Amino acid sequence: MKLWDKGISIDKKIEQFTVGNDREIDIHIAKYDIIASKAHAKMLQKIGILTTNELVDLLTGLKNLEKQVTDGTFVIDSQFEDVHSKIEYELTKSLGEVGKKIHTARSRNDQVLVALHLYYKENLGLVKEKTKTFFDTLLTLAETHQDKVLPGYTHLQVAMPSSFGLWFSAYAELMVDDVYLLNAAIKTVDQNPLGSAAGYGSSFPIDRELTTKEMGFSTLKYNVVAAQMARGKNERTIAAVLGGLCNTMSRFAMDICLYMSQNFGFISFPDELTTGSSIMPHKKNPDVFELIRGKCNKIQALQTEMILITNNLPSGYHRDFQLLKENMIAAFEEVKDILDIFNYAIQQIMVKDIDVNSDLYKYLFTVDNINTLVVNGMSFREAYQKIGGEVQDGTYIPDTSKKHSHIGSIHNLCLNKIKNKFI
């Protein structure tokens, strides 16, 4: 069944190419098409297209389909082009002629658009919730290990003293920035596009404010052309946001892989969280974090894909938009899985004691020692030259007693301040 069927047969090769794998992808948005259809039916009854009895019948039919989606028994068979044609077919099969009325005053284009808006809105919210869980875990780890020294590096060279508390809370606060962008993306998709039809509205006296309220949108996408043009723009925005979050997680995963290696040896994980080698029995490979890194990097490429699919399209609907759904939905599912597994694994981290008196970290405190000389009256340039000279001639002896007291430093992490920034 095709919603656009005019009784003319279409070439099977063309049909297969144009339908693609929409049936498989659309399972993810079936729930949201039903939500939108219930709101649309209520609106049609209000403006006199449906009778009260017809509305009751349609809502009952849609409720039954919603239960099938929840139970996992809803299937889009090969005879259907997409979820929208499947739902209309099932309503017509169970209710007769009234089922055919559900498509009145809307197009498949805005059916897809509103279902995606609802899907994106809910899943951005879920990503935010999972990010908050991960964020809380990192702050807990920061508090637990705030006094444990960790060498800080620049250019992968020993630089200045850091701490595990500073490391964990650094990534937590970076996630606050990611959430600011998540909030912006949520606001972007929290606009009802239903009623834009094929992109130019309808001559029916539809009530778009009613459907906005019914579906829980904060506002309307008022201009019907702007509503259709949001397709592609939404995906570019969301891809950038998910990519930003994944950039944070990818960098964190890279740190973990580095710090687990024997050359660093700062952290470890239980054997059951690592994998071995087929020929090297000593190996404890951080495969989970390597895969997190790789998956996150892959998602960061999604924004480029969304831009290239849509950047030269004129206003109005184009079939190119069909290509946006698959990888966007896959990215959401992947990001949610990554957040879950990262949060699960990081809670089992084993932080090791690091001997800062080792020759490996001999120069970790040069800056602190320069600062001590400055506090005692020497100019910074003279102090720099004095400590530098000692390093060069091998007479430098580190003083590890200096404390960092300013806001956001090793000994003043401001964890509560960071926690309060998450909104």
Q: What is the pLDDT of residue 387?
A: 97
Domain ranges across the chain: 12-104, 109-144+164-204+219-351, 359-421
Q: Is 12-104 assigned to CATH 1.10.275.10? A: yes
Q: What single-letter DSSP state applies at residue 220?
A: E
Q: Which of 229-233, 256-260, 274-278, 298-302 has the lowest mean pLDDT?
A: 274-278
> CATH number for the 109-144+164-204+219-351 domain, one of 1.25.10.10, 3.40.309.10, 1.20.120.530, 1.20.200.10?
1.20.200.10
Ordered DSSP codes for 141-200: HHHHTTTSEEEEEETTEEEEEEEHHHHHHHHHHHHHHHHHHHHHHHHHH-EE-TT-TTTT
Helix ranges restricted to H, 271-315: 287-300, 302-310
Strand partners, 129: none
Q: What is the pLDDT of residue 20?
A: 60
Q: What single-letter DSSP state applies at residue 319?
A: G
Q: What is the pLDDT of residue 21?
A: 67
Helix (H, G, I), strand (E, B) or coil at 106: coil
Q: Give the mean model confidence (pLDDT) for residues 183-194.
A: 98
Residues 6+ apart with CB under 8 A from 231: 112, 113, 116, 317, 321, 324
Whether 251 has a pLDDT exceeding 60, the answer reads: yes
Q: Give the mean model confidence (pLDDT) for residues 199-211.
A: 96
Query: How far is residue 387's CA from residue 400's CA, in Å, rounded to a whole number?
Result: 14
Contact 285, 276 (CB under 8 A): yes
Cα–chain-centroid distance for residue 388? 46
Contacts 24+ apart (CB under 8 A), 12-18: 18/319
Q: What single-letter DSSP state applies at residue 353?
A: P
Q: Give the mean model confidence (pLDDT) for residues 131-146.
A: 98
Beta 157-163 vs 149-154: how paired, if at all? antiparallel
Q: From the CB of residue 66, how many other CB atoms can be counted at a distance below 10 Å?
A: 17
Whether 15 has a pLDDT exceeding 80, the answer reads: no
Q: Give the mean model confidence (pLDDT) for residues 369-374.
A: 96
Q: What is the pLDDT of residue 273?
A: 85
Instruction: Report phi then psi at 351, rounded to 5.
Output: -85, 130
Whether 126 has a pLDDT exceeding 90, the answer reads: yes
| Per-residue pLDDT band at 277 (split at 50, 70, 90) | low
| Per-residue pLDDT band at 284 (split at 50, 70, 90) | confident
Q: What mean pLDDT value characterizes the chain?
A: 93
| Per-residue pLDDT band at 13 (split at 50, 70, 90) | low
Q: What is the pLDDT of residue 82?
A: 87
Q: Give the mean model confidence (pLDDT) for residues 311-340.
A: 93
Strand partners, 154: 157
Whether 419 has a pLDDT exceeding 80, the answer reads: yes
Contacts 24+ apart (CB under 8 A), 37-42: 37/62, 37/87, 37/102, 38/62, 38/214, 39/194, 39/210, 39/211, 39/214, 39/215, 40/102, 40/105, 40/106, 40/194, 40/211, 41/102, 42/210, 42/211, 42/214
Contact 292, 343 (CB under 8 A): no
Region of residue 232 (left: phi > 0; alpha: psi -120 to 50; beta: else)? left
Whether 122 has a pLDDT exceeding 80, the answer reads: yes
Q: What is the pLDDT of residue 1?
A: 46
Q: What is the pLDDT of residue 16?
A: 60
Whether 343 has a pLDDT exceeding 90, the answer reads: yes
Contact 158, 361 (CB under 8 A): yes
Whether 12 has a pLDDT exceeding 90, the answer reads: no
| Per-residue pLDDT band at 246 (split at 50, 70, 90) | very high
More confident residue, 207 or 77: 207
